[in-house]
Structures are given as C-alpha cells and as structure tokens.
Structure 1
C-alpha cells in the first residue's frame, strides 16, 4: 500500500476529529492518536486525554491511555513513545501513516462526533516542541554574535548590534517562562501524588492502631506501611529531623 502524503493525512485527521492541525509534529502530544482510536471503538476515557497538552509529561500521560487501549484491544503494535513525544516530523509521520491504515481497516462507518466526545475541550496543541527550542537557541546565538560584531564596527554594525541582543533576551525570557510553567506543572503533579500517599499512610496507621487495640494484626497493612516508609540509598531521613505533623494538610 502506498504511503499517504503528509497533506492528505492532515486533511483526513482534521476532518475526522475537527482539528486545525497544520503539522504532523502536533500529533506527538498523543491526543489525536487517542481520539482516532476512540472514533473506532467509542469507549476511550477521553476525559483523561489532554488534547491541548503543552508539556512532555502531559504527552506521556496521553500515550499511557493509548497503551492501555492497545492492551485491552489486543493491538499488537509497539508504540515508540520516547520518539513520538519529541514531536519530530519523521517519527510521527510514520506512526500517523500506521494509524490511518489501522483506521481504514477497523472503522465501521458509524457516525462520530469528536467535539462531543472530548466535551468541547480545547485542542490548541503546539506545532512543535524540540524544533522551537532549537530555533530559540539559534536566534539567541545569532543575537549575541551580532552584538559583538556590532561593537567592533560602530558605523555599519551599530543598528544590528542594538537590536539583535534585545531579540536574544526576549527569546531567553520566553524560554524561561515556558520552563517555569513546566516546573509548576511538575510540582502540582508531585503534590497530587504525595497527598494520595499521605492519605493512605494516615488510613493505614488508623486501622493498625484500631487492630492493635483489639489485640489483632494485619499482615497486609504492615506490608503497606513497610512500602510507605522504605527509603532508597542516599535518601534516608537525617537523624534529628523534625517528625511529620500529623495535623498537616495538603
């Protein structure tokens, strides 16, 4: 079967899912791949798919949903997640071509409302990730270089020297803002899972105290506590550290 062109693939994808993708690289967020599968099966947990994902950890979460679908439907196809989330054109083009062939073979022709299935969630996915970072560093290096040469040639190079460094600073500031947003997302995710572990710890402790008062024991609860309190080499709690406040909330 002849490979479908990029433009034809994008046209098919945008029409099927009512998207406005302009580049194959945008598929690296994983959202579109998930919804193509949903158009076939109609039972994907679309509430867990972030169609406007901006960061790599969000892309990975989308692909985890997809991997679960592959496992449940017994689809024998490896998903090169580490490559796809880098949002490079060639990797996503090859996978999108496979997705299109799979859809052609399995879509039953039933009606599909993509906007309703994703509950009107926004889909403004970034065009690329890695290439954007490269272009920023490229413009930054260009700006610094122009500024230095401008300093040596004040007559002919003064104009370029005064504008290029400003562009470099703006590019670096934009990159810093993006990194700050990414870090904020990671911190929220960390706090989310930590609060879950804290709730489990309190629940297990309360149950153990209740059982001990009755002269009973529970091996499963003890194993859970062992897991909660275990540490890795280099991450031991230092001696003399203040105990955790039992009333602390998260």
Structure 2
C-alpha cells in the first residue's frame, strides 16, 4: 500500500518522502501524522469544484477490468459501488443546497412568527394576571364582594379560571401561581 503512495507522489512531483517504516508499524500517531499531512496538502493544492472522471480520461471511459481469478465477485461489486457513490452524492449535494437555502429561509420566517406569537401571548397573559391580582386584592380588602352568587367578582373569576373542552392543565403547573419565564 505504501508503494502506491510513493508512485503517486513521484507521478505528481511531490517531494515529501513517504515514511514506509513508520506506517508499517501501524502506530496510530505516525499514521495520523501522515494522514494530516495528506489532508493539508489536498486542501492547499486542490482547485475545488466537481471531479469529472470522464473528462479526466478524455472521454475514453473506464479501462476494461483485468481478466483473471485474483478478484472475487464481491470485491468487484464493492469497487463498482464505490465508483458511483461520489457522483450521486455530488448530485444530491447540489440539489440539496437549493432546497436547504429555501428551507432555511422558511425556518427563519417561522421562528420569527413564533417569537411574535409568544410575545403576544406573554403580553395578554400578563394582562390577565394583573386582573387576577386586582380581584384577589379587592376580595382581601372587602370579603363581601365575593359572597353573592350574582357578584361581578364571581363572574370574572369564573371566566378567568374556566377551561375549554378538551383542554388539559400541564402537570407542572397548579392554577396560575407559577409564572413561566422565557
């Protein structure tokens, strides 16, 4: 395997020697150091863009597979799959980029709408809480306000504490005593 690297380095006129003895020892630090150097070299010299294998071969197509029993059927199928995966992934990335941009914009618009609705909800909740506190203070100062069945205080409290059909109070809250902070 190291000789493949050496051959590729010679073909592309890369002057760095391949540390064959270090790589053969399979020490993680040596292998990692070599791979980091390869990555840095790739980042420095790769022009970017898509890789067009047919154009690189000047339209000649892939060379025919070598005849012989050296390879099993599973390894050739794996090799074929590896060759097609990057092309389809590049196509998906290109299409996904436009979709991602549109979805990101839609997500940001939805987040803004949610923030506006939460602000409005908190505003009206604070108003209702103020009304509730005023009623409680009024009842504390004059308990007679709450005695009659037809009293205004009773009707307002009934409206404040009523729930709609199908509404369930969350487990963590009791009445209106706990205020949420956002």
For normalisation by structure 1, the TM-score amounts to: 0.32
Which structure has the larger Rg?
A: 2
Higher relative contact order (CA 8 A, sep 6+): 1
